[in-house]
Copies of this chain bind each other. A is one copy, B any other.
């Protein structure tokens, strides 16, 4: 079965930049391509958009198929349209970026992927197509967005310590933050619920908190804007 149109149409794909924390390092999910072009090269997971699915649905489907990653925060990033970005034909790609908790349960390679793995953002291999540019855009967006919307929590387990979230922010922003000021500011926003649970570690136990999403929505309605 084939499909005929009066005018030629660009093909449409989605590509996903999925961030996660692997051993306290900000990392990105990459596949190793199983097919040409760029066979064996590293690339972002992604693929063609079905005629009856939304872009986000396509992104989630491809992620699930190629990497077995699902249930993640996902947001449209930008649409990449350079004329020669794909050597085969004109392909326009809508990029999404995503954040996942618990990188622990390792991704599994699926269709189109010879392998799937997390790669530290500061040690990325060369990427196929214009995927390096897509990644750069996503990383910039993450750095910018994390400062005025509380999306950082999407990368942490549901219960986390203040030190965990601080070092997450330090990792993303690439600079150190003052512990006392960070805690003061974060707690003053009144978005974290202190729990009666404590982390078990090598040393003194730290209190666990969880992010209160409904309170966040309430405060936003009242005109709060999360900052740092």
Q: Is A9 an interface residue (CB 8 A)?
A: yes
Given contact pairs A9-B12, A12-B12, A54 touches B81 in the complex (Cβ within 8 A): yes
Identical subunits present:
2
The stretch of A44-52, A107-115, A128-136 that contacts the partner chain:
A44-52
Residues of chain B within 8 A (CB-CB) of A8 are: 3, 51
Residues of chain B within 8 A (CB-CB) of A53 are: 83
The contact string, 1 if C-beta is below 8 Å from chain B, for chain A 1-41, is 01111111111100000000000000000000000000000
| Interface size of A as a range | 20 to 34
Task: Please give the distance in Å from A149's CB to the nearest CB on chain B.
Answer: 12
The contact string, 1 if C-beta is below 8 Å from chain B, for chain A 72-96, is 0000101101110000001010100
Q: Is A55 an interface residue (CB 8 A)?
A: yes
Give Cα distance in the complex from A94 to B94, angstroms. Answer: 10
Residues of chain B within 8 A (CB-CB) of A51 are: 7-10, 90
Checking B2, B6, B52, B76 against A79 with a beta-carbon cut-off of 8 angstroms, the contacting residue is B76
Task: Please give the distance in Å from A46's CB to the nearest CB on chain B.
Answer: 14
Asked whether A12 lies within 8 Å of B92 as measured between CB atoms, the reply is yes
A49-B92, A54-B83 are known; give 10 further A-B pairs, CB within 8 A: A2-B4, A3-B8, A3-B9, A5-B11, A9-B10, A9-B12, A53-B83, A55-B92, A76-B78, A79-B94
List 5 A-B residue pairs with CB atoms under 8 Å apart, sorted by A's residue number.
A2-B6, A3-B6, A4-B4, A9-B12, A52-B83
